[in-house]
Structure 1
């Protein structure tokens, strides 16, 4: 299992604990790498918008939200 999958499976059990960074978008930071997983909590699922490097083009994912 790679680091992204590990973060998703282990941390999203507590999906509401991660901070809201824009409207209803939350960011979960990875432990060993400078990446964050941006997601929103929908009625029956968690929608992952991006796995982003935390110091490159911070707002590129905003086009994905509609």
Structure 2
């Protein structure tokens, strides 16, 4: 049922040219399903573990210098 609902929502969003965001994804099977359905953006522990904002702003690709 969840996959069917996500697929319906994704289909409507595509027809309306709206980007979709799904999460939090905590296992690879859900990640694969959402990717196969065509969800544009996915977040959660399967992608990357949560980190404190100050650490991200100082050490990551998005660091502010």
Give the structure-2-normalised TM-score.
Answer: 0.33
Which of these two proteins has the greater Rg computed from alpha carbons? 2
Q: Going by fraction, where is helix more abundant, 1 or 2?
A: 2
Q: Going by fraction, where is strand more abundant, 1 or 2?
A: 1
Give the structure-1-normalised TM-score.
Answer: 0.32
Asked which structure has the greater RCO (Cα within 8 Å, sep 6+), the reply is 2
